[in-house]
């Protein structure tokens, strides 16, 4: 298995689009008067609104976005690249983020006060990010303090977390990571302390610690915020090298070892390429693992005639298959596997958001309060400064 080298509870997904859920990182209502999805002029309207805004707007598109949306992105990328792109555009008055809420929050933190970040649909959250709530994380930290280990624990949060979790990490001398730099972030963390508290994706944390850093599975323990004391004894916490938060991605959690074995039996010579949010047994059985940007690069560079089974979100896999008719590219799972919240951003929402901006109104602006933003930025800047 080759892993990408670093390059240059609340409940979510419920009643999407209706009401609000104060326990999640996102709102769940689009207040707008959206154009009808059947409007044949949507593409032209999006083009016209974007042209009218000119350099005032910069549209970022995550690789999991729909085709109808991604065609309007000025830049596409994984969450690391998009964070850097947002930070590198101080002249754009509006950043329209076609991605999910935690990404737009990070863009707001990394851009200037004068810039406005817009998420075309507030229901575009992330169920994994919702699995770590600040009060739960603080409770865990108090437990570490009462055991006398907090001073040796470095908190690391995956980009896929709310701004207040990033703020917690920044306040406590930790760092943010993405799927493209998790190993570098963990190596940095083990230079600062003797233990890592990894939030909120247990799989990225475990896969990086075991498959990249050489830890044993037994060095990792799983902190379950829904069980008293996280479901861990004092001994387990004292002995652990990596304390993993019990969170996961509902999309990548669906890829199974069975699917890997099945595709290997069906397609001779197939290469299995997966995202590190997949479960440990799936990543261990895969041939290549890395971020969305890495997945695209590997397929781009693959020889004609090669066969690939890709374990990540379906919009991206479909686009890769269409872009490379000379390679055999299949989806690793048998069942459809879209990220339903990424898919909330569709052409009607994008048209609505752009036309609102043309009309002088700023729709669905994502703002992070100053104190949270300050500490979250500390943790994000540490990440951006990693080698």
> Which residues lie near ligand SF4 (CB under 6 A)?
100, 126-128, 160, 249-251, 277, 313, 339, 341-342
Measured CA to CA, the distance from residue 366 to residue 102 in angstroms comes to 10
Q: Say if residues 146 and 362 touch (Cβ distance below 8 Å).
A: no
Q: In this structure, what is the dihedral angle of CA atoms 198, 143, 170, 172, given to the nearest 10 degrees?
A: -120
| Binding flag, residue 292, ligand 13P (CB under 6 A) | yes
Q: Give Cα 250 to chain centroid, integer Å.
A: 12
Measured CA to CA, the distance from residue 292 to residue 183 in angstroms comes to 16
Closest CA to 374 of 162, 158, 167: 167
| Binding flag, residue 249, ligand 13P (CB under 6 A) | yes
Contact partner, 108, from ligand 13P, ligand SF4, none, Cβ < 5-8 Å per class: none
Q: How far is the CB of 179 from ligand 13P (least distance, A)?
A: 4
> Among residues 157, 208, 271, 291, which is the contact residue for ligand 13P, using CB under 6 A?
291
- Helix and strand numbers, DSSP H then E, in the chain: 15, 14
Q: Closer to ligand 13P at the Cβ: 53 or 98?
A: 98
Q: How far is the CB of 208 from ligand SF4 (least distance, A)?
A: 15
Closest CA to 207 of 155, 118, 274, 299: 274
Measured CA to CA, the distance from residue 188 to residue 381 in angstroms comes to 13
Q: Closer to ligand 13P at the Cβ: 255 or 375?
A: 255
In the 8-state DSSP scheme, what is residue 7?
Answer: -
Site for ligand 13P in 353-372 (CB under 6 A): none
Contact partner, 246, from ligand SF4, ligand 13P, none, Cβ < 5-8 Å per class: none
179 is known to lie in a ligand binding site? yes
> Among residues 121, 277, 333, 355, which is the contact residue for ligand 13P, using CB under 6 A?
277
| Binding flag, residue 178, ligand 13P (CB under 6 A) | yes
DSSP 269-323: TPEEEE-TTS-HHHHHH-SEE--HHHHHHHHHHSPTT-EEEEES-HHHHHHHHHH
| Binding flag, residue 160, ligand 13P (CB under 6 A) | yes
Q: Closer to ligand SF4 at the Cβ: 329 or 345?
A: 345
Stretch that binds ligand 13P, among 11-19, 76-84, 228-236, 316-324 (CB under 6 A): 76-84
3-state SS, residue 222 = strand
Segment holding 381, helix H or strand E = helix 370-384
Stretch that binds ligand 13P, among 72-80, 206-214, 232-240, 373-381 (CB under 6 A): 72-80
Strand ranges for 22-86 from DSSP E: 57-62, 75-77
Stretch that binds ligand 13P, among 33-41, 77-85, 133-141, 206-214 (CB under 6 A): 77-85
Q: Say if residues 164 and 377 touch (Cβ distance below 8 Å).
A: no
Site residues for ligand 13P per CB under 6 A? 63, 78-80, 160, 178-179, 249, 277, 291-292
Residues annotated in the binding site for iminosuccinate, as ranges? 62, 79, 158-160, 179, 275-277, 292
Residues annotated in the binding site for [4Fe-4S] cluster, as ranges? 126, 249, 339
Residues annotated in the binding site, as ranges? 62, 79, 126, 158-160, 179, 249, 275-277, 292, 339
């Amino acid at each position: 298995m080759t892993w990408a080298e670093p390059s240059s509870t609340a409940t979510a997904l419920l009643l999407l689009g209706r009401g609000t859920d104060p326990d999640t990182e996102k709102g769940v209502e689009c207040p707008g008067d959206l154009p009808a999805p059947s409007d044949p002029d949507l593409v032209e309207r999006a083009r016209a609104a974007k042209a009218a805004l000119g350099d005032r707007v910069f549209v970022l598109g995550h690789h999991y976005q729909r085709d109808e949306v991604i065609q309007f992105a000025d830049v596409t990328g994984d969450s690391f690249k998009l964070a850097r792109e947002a930070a590198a555009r101080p002249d754009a008055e509006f950043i329209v983020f076609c991605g999910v809420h935690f990404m737009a929050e990070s863009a707001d933190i990394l851009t200037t006060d004068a810039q406005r970040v817009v998420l075309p649909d507030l229901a575009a959250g992330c169920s994994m990010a919702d699995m770590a709530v600040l009060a739960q994380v603080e409770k865990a930290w108090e437990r570490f303090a009462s055991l006398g280990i907090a001073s040796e624990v470095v908190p690391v949060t995956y980009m896929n977390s709310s701004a207040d979790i990033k703020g917690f990490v920044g306040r406590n001398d930790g760092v943010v990571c993405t799927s493209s730099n998790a190993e570098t972030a963990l190596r940095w963390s083990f230079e600062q302390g003797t233990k890592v508290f990894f939030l909120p994706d247990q799989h990225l944390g475990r896969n990086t610690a075991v498959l990249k850093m050489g830890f044993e599975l037994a060095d990792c323990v799983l902190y379950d915020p829904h069980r008293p004391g996280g479901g861990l004894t004092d001994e387990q916490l004292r002995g652990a090298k990596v304390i993993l938060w019990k969170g996961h991605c509902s999309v990548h959690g669906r890829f199974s070892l069975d699917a890997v074995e099945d595709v290997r039996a069906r397609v001779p010579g197939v290469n299995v390429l997966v995202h590190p949010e997949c479960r440990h047994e799936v990543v261990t059985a895969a041939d290549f693992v890395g971020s969305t940007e890495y997945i695209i690069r590997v397929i781009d560079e693959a020889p004609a005639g090669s066969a690939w089974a890709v374990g990540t979100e379906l919009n991206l896999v479909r686009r890769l298959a269409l872009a490379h008719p000379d390679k055999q590219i299949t989806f690793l799972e048998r069942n459809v596997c879209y990220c339903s919240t990424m898919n909330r951003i569709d052409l009607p929402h994008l048209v609505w958001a752009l036309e609102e901006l043309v009309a002088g109104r700023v729709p669905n602006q994502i703002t992070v309060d100053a104190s949270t933003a300050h500490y979250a930025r500390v943790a994000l800047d540490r990440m951006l400064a990693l080698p």
